């Protein structure tokens, strides 16, 4: 019987088990937003997971929206990530980087030359940005010109090439959580009147061009995608999420990607508070490997894999706090609790100091 400990191949990436580390922003990058030795230690500790999906990593300087998030667009960042991939591979693990552009979820303080953040449409999000000098209200972003959108697909492809140079086994295109690609997909944030706005077909155009671009550079078998159909994170929504994402998933079938990472629900809310959405319908439409994500424990994850509803399960907070989660699951051992006060600060504390099981 297939279980969480069964091996699986996601495209070109062979996993020793079906326990995936979900992307988790940790704000520990060093100078130049480059990964440090501490970041390498953190990921190396968690290499027993079948696949590590790194924290979201901006594809260009304009893609940043938070302090100390490691990018994948400069030489020093590539060299920093090489330390990370080596640490994971030396421990027998596999790792893919999540490619990120935050779009409007930024602030001029975080942008080159103090420029406005960019977005599909000039609509200011509710809330505040985290800057190096404290919390500041979001601003109204600048709507991208059509020619800029086409160029950005190439920027994603360059970032994917950088990832291969850095030694990653694959990449995940971040098209969820209210960031740039999700902003194009959703009706609340995309009010364009050109070929990238209006109908769901037009709103999905940019995402499909990005997938075409990255796949042509590094191969479809190394590319995955993150979607989050009903999250309201970053002040985003859609007038018909079921129709929008059924269309998107049907369209991405033609790329024969390594996997679809599907973030269910609305962030950290328990399942009984999720907005209505038929995830089983997406499973029926999608022809590839499906990773389900959000709020799973061992029992619920094991059920989803055994039933065939998922090919693998992504764990966030459990792997954050339990670097040896795979072994703890095998033994039925107790779990460390996450240190929520140090999720985004503290250097090694709440990062690399979680205890392993005693030998």
Which residues are within 8 A (CB) of 64 and not within 5 positions of it... i.e. 6 or more apart? 33, 58, 71, 102, 106, 110, 111
Cα–Cα dist 251/220, whole Å: 14
Question: Which residues, 6 or more positions from 171, have their beta carbon under 8 angstroms from its beta carbon?
Answer: 96, 97, 98, 99, 159, 160, 163, 214, 218, 222, 223, 224
* Cα(79)–Cα(125) distance, integer angstroms: 35
Q: Which stretch of DSSP H or E encloses residue 216?
A: helix 205-218
Residue among 42, 66, 138, 179 flagged as catalytic: 179
Cα-based distances in Å from 75 to 11, 80, 95, 101: 28, 9, 20, 18
**Annotated catalytic, 179?**
yes
The number of helices, as runs of H, and strands, as runs of E, in the chain is 11, 14
Known catalytic residues are 179
């Amino acid at each position: 019987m297939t279980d969480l400990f069964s091996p699986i191949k996601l495209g070109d990436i062979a996993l020793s088990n079906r326990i995936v580390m979900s992307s988790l922003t940790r704000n520990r990058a060093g100078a130049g937003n480059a990964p440090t030795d501490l970041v390498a230690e953190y990921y190396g500790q968690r290499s027993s997971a079948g696949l590590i999906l790194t924290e979201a990593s901006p594809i260009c300087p304009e893609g940043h929206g938070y302090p100390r998030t490691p990018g994948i667009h400069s030489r020093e960042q590539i060299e920093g990530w090489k330390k990370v991939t080596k640490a994971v591979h030396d421990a027998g693990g596999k790792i893919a980087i999540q490619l990120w552009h935050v779009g409007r979820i930024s602030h001029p303080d975080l942008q080159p030359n103090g420029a406005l953040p960019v977005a599909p449409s000039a609509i200011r999000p509710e809330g505040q940005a985290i800057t190096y000098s404290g919390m500041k209200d979001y601003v109204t972003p600048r709507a991208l010109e059509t020619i800029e959108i086409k160029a950005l697909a190439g920027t994603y492809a360059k970032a994917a090439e950088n990832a291969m140079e850095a030694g990653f086994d694959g990449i995940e295109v971040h098209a969820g959580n209210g960031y740039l690609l999700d902003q194009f997909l959703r009706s609340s944030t995309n009010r364009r009147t050109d070929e990238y706005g209006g109908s769901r077909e037009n709103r999905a155009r940019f995402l499909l061009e990005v997938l075409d671009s990255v796949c042509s550079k590094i191969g479809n078998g190394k590319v995955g995608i993150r979607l989050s159909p009903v999250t309201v994170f970053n002040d985003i929504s859609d007038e018909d999420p079921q129709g929008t994402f059924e269309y998107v998933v049907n369209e991405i079938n033609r790329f024969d990607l390594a996997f679809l990472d599907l973030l269910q629900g609305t962030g950290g809310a328990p399942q009984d508070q999720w907005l209505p959405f038929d995830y089983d319908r997406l499973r029926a439409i999608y022809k590839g490997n499906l990773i389900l994500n959000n709020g799973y424990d061992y029992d619920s994850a094991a059920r989803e894999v055994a039933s065939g509803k998922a090919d693998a399960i992504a764990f966030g907070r459990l792997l954050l706090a339990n670097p040896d989660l795979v072994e703890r699951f095998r033994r039925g051992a107790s779990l460390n609790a996450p240190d929520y006060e140090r999720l985004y600060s503290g250097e090694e504390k709440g990062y690399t100091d979680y205890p392993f099981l005693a030998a």
